[in-house]
Amino acid sequence: MARVLVTGVTGQLGFFVADLLAKRGDQVWGLVRQSTLGRRNVGDDNLPYRPITGDLLDEYSLLSILEEVQPDRIFNFGAQSFVPASWTQPILTAQYTGLGVVRLLEAIRHVTPHCRLLQAGSSELFAEADRSPQDESTPIRPINPYGIAKAASISLVTNYRESYGLFACSGILFNHESPLRPARFVTRKITSAAWRIGQGSRERLALGNLGVYRDWGWVPDYVEAMWAILQCDTADDFVIASGVSHSLEEFVAAAFAEVGLDWRDHVDLDGSLKRPNDIAYSAGDPAKARRVLGWSARTSFAEIVSLMVRAERVGPAAVS
């Protein structure tokens, strides 16, 4: 039985990894900010973790938490993770997504140097990649404040691993979905609208650039990969991806087809919703994860879209 601390536990990655580890018999603590206490969360009646109050902006709270919990494993998913918001809140994004990592690494170094850390990376690191698909050796070239902050976090993990001998790893995740994806993200915006329209809503869905391609995976698959990373004998970094890319138009078409509709009858293209600096094509190469971890994504693109649309009927609280 391991003692595990999960930051960002109220998000989709944090919740699913906490659920996975609790089912394995581990003792799981979830770091929650004071401002989130009292909010309705998935599975509030039977949380897979023990809430513990702290903040990645406050190094003293992290030191105190590590002293109390004495974790063997830490999964750091705490971040400002919405790319558009990183343009309007660049300093906050840098503080949580970038500097929050160094605060956590410093706390680990001083209090629990034996602890193993999994840091969540992002495909936004490779926004201006010189090759496709992208793997662990692809040069890091982000194009937005979120990607830049994630680049800093990856570099910090590598630096503390090499300089202090910490067992610190990065899982570089390409796009990952689940019914717990917040409504402000485009995939959830699409699946929830498709479900409502399929039930008779007369609304229309406005979208921007449908020609972007993304490598989409299923969060429950990806948390298994992140668990496996921390079981390795040597700390290392891994790209976690499906290896297959699809256009946003394909995602929209599949979502509406799930409710028996043609998306073209219900979607309006709005040029004002296009991002000025968006990634046109994103694809990950998970060969290293397959070879070293024995992991590969199990859930297909079609299954992901179908599962998300069908989950709109029961709501995210039914997901575990």
Is 178 in the active site?
Answer: no
What's the distance, Cα to Cα, between the start and end of the chain in Å?
21
Dist CA 83 CA 141 (whole Å):
15
The pLDDT averaged over each successive group of 10 residues in the chain (320 residues) is 96 96 97 66 72 96 98 96 88 94 98 98 92 95 94 97 98 96 94 97 96 97 98 98 98 98 96 79 97 98 97 68
Domain assignment present for 35:
yes
Catalytic residue among 146, 170, 222, 245, which?
146
Looking at residue 43, its pLDDT comes to 47
pLDDT tens profile 303-317: 999 999 999 988 755
Domain assignment present for 292:
no
Quick check: 53 and 33 in contact, CB under 8 A?
yes
What's 309's domain CATH number? 3.90.25.10
Looking at residue 40, its pLDDT comes to 44
Catalytic residue among 122, 123, 178, 245, which?
122
Number of domains in the chain: 2
Please identify which residue in the block is written with the tokens 């590969």: 296
Dist CA 153 CA 308 (whole Å):
30
What stretch of H or E contains 32?
Answer: strand 27-32
For residues 65 and 127, membership in a common domain is answered with yes
For residues 150 and 280, membership in a common domain is answered with no
Looking at residue 84, its pLDDT comes to 85
Dist CA 81 CA 56 (whole Å):
14
For residues 230 and 102, membership in a common domain is answered with yes
Q: Which two tokens stand for residue 193?
A: 């609208």
Looking at residue 64, its pLDDT comes to 98
Domain assignment present for 16:
yes
Domain assignment present for 10:
yes
For residues 132 and 152, membership in a common domain is answered with yes
For residues 270 and 313, membership in a common domain is answered with yes
Domain assignment present for 150:
yes
For residues 145 and 192, membership in a common domain is answered with no
For residues 80 and 102, membership in a common domain is answered with yes
Quick check: 63 and 110 in contact, CB under 8 A?
yes
For residues 104 and 201, membership in a common domain is answered with no
Dist CA 150 CA 72 (whole Å):
24
Dist CA 242 CA 304 (whole Å):
12
Q: Tell me the β-bridge partners of 214.
A: 246
Which amino acid is it at 72?
D
* Residue 165: burial class (beta carbons within 10 Å; 0-12, 13-18, 19+): exposed
Domain assignment present for 44:
yes
Dist CA 226 CA 232 (whole Å):
11
Q: Tell me the β-bridge partners of 199.
A: none
Catalytic residue among 49, 86, 124, 245, which?
124
Helix, strand, or coil (residue 46): helix
Q: Which two tokens stand for residue 295?
A: 């992991």
Structural domain containing residue 190 = 179-214+244-284+299-318
What's 131's domain CATH number? 3.40.50.720
Composition of the chain by helix, strand, coil, percent to 5: 45, 15, 40
For residues 102 and 186, membership in a common domain is answered with no
Quick check: 78 and 129 in contact, CB under 8 A?
no
Domain assignment present for 290:
no
Helix, strand, or coil (residue 306): helix
Q: Where are the alpha helices (DSSP H) in the chain?
A: 12-23, 59-69, 83-88, 90-93, 100-111, 145-164, 186-198, 219-229, 248-258, 287-288, 301-314
Dist CA 90 CA 100 (whole Å):
14
pLDDT tens profile 235-252: 999 999 999 999 999 999
Task: Please state whether beta strands 267-269 and 116-122 pair in parallel, antiparallel, or not at all (unpaired).
Answer: unpaired
Domain assignment present for 289:
no
Q: Which two tokens stand for residue 107?
A: 């706390």
Is 146 in the active site?
Answer: yes
For residues 205 and 222, membership in a common domain is answered with no
Dist CA 220 CA 216 (whole Å):
13
For residues 209 and 79, membership in a common domain is answered with no
For residues 267 and 167, membership in a common domain is answered with no
Quick check: 100 and 57 in contact, CB under 8 A?
yes
